[in-house]
Amino acid sequence: MPIPKLMLGKNKKGFVALTIVLSVAGILLATVYSSSIRSGSFFDQAMRKEYREMNYYFAYDCIDQAMLFIAHDYFFEPKKPLFISQYHCYILSVEKNGNLRKIKTMGDFMKASVYREAVVMVGDRGVEITPIN
Q: What percent of the chain has pLDDT over 90?
A: 59
Using 50 as the pLDDT threshold, list the residues of the chain that sit under it: none
Number of C-alpha atoms within 13 angstroms, CB side, residue 118?
20
- Evaluate whether 54 touches 107 at the Cβ level (below 8 Å): yes
pLDDT the model gives residue 41: 75
Residue type, 60: Y
pLDDT the model gives residue 1: 53
| 115-123: Cβ within 8 A, 24+ apart | 115/59, 116/56, 116/59, 116/60, 116/62, 116/63, 118/63, 120/66, 120/67, 120/70, 122/70, 122/74, 123/99
